[in-house]
Structure 1
Amino acid sequence: MTNKRIELFIAVSLDGYIADGEGSVGWLEEIEGDGDNGYMTFLNEIDTVVMGHTTYKQLFTLTDTFPYSKKHVYVFSNEKAGTKDEYAAFVNGSVKSWLENTEGKSIWLVGGAQLVKKFLDENQIDRFIITVAPIILGDGIPLFEKGTRELLHLEAVEKYGQFTQMTYRKKE
């Protein structure tokens, strides 16, 4: 492991999906939260954001302004690796290799599921902050791919309106 801290901060449905069958997270808007559910506090603690290409593209459908302009932003992408746009650098390859070459120390793994699996496969997630929404989608994109196995230690539970946020660390 590196001296960098990688944290997964993500919302899921009660049945474990991060997006519905069409890839949308619009269902999160249906649920009464409490403020920003700890988002701004978390965002202020990190210096780097990393996400998959699908998640990156979806950001532009959710907001008019890029929300991470004051952070280092990296997007894992097979098709655009080695390039940059005005918001992010596109990378690929191993997570470990990327971590060795990035200046970030406190890194937010935004998603999606394939990138979460890649980080898990390389044992590179230090903390899991999972906010559970009280909705059953029945279908969609699961947070953890089938066959994923990781033993975690519960550190904290917070309630934000109808959301429950659980913080876990890897079990040593």
Structure 2
Amino acid sequence: MNTAPTIHGENVLLRQPIESDLRDYMNVEEDNELKKMYGIEAVDITPKTFERAKRFIEAIANNQWEWCVVYQNRFVGQARLTVNQTDNRARYAVGLFDPSVWNKGLGTEVTNLVLEFAFKTLNLHRVDLRVLEYNVRAIRCYEKCGFIKEGIEREGALINGKYETDLFMSILDREYEEK
């Protein structure tokens, strides 16, 4: 199995996990806004433990196209492509678990780096994602990177007793090239 290569950006580094990532992850307190953006039910939240952190980082290492996002030499999030080779497409996901790095354009930089890899290295035709409709910050990021809203799943997720709506967004290879 191939593993995701290291990708250098202007402000971020995308790479495979290393030992110090466990410490970086454990040093960031759980954040209620992050949980909401991930669509995590308040009742499903378990305290951050060493074992849970270890499983989180192992999952990144075991996914063929997943990276640790590093900013100022600290592990602050992850990005992933789940590739469907039959249809020449991938589902994209990104998460910055450290609120101290939000609103710095890192999500946009990470997304652009992963899109470049998806279209230029993997030669994919399409990259898509789903995002909770209330996650306005993420939607703005995706639109800046060229994603187009293509549909919704109305009230398909029950989160904290309320039905929430997901948006589906995508970008095609030709749209990426035009950008």
Which structure ranks higher in relative contact order (CA pairs < 8 Å, sequence separation ≥ 6)? 1
Give your verdict on TM over 0.5: no
Relative to its length, the structure with more helix (as a share) is: 2
When normalised by structure 1's length, the TM-score is: 0.37
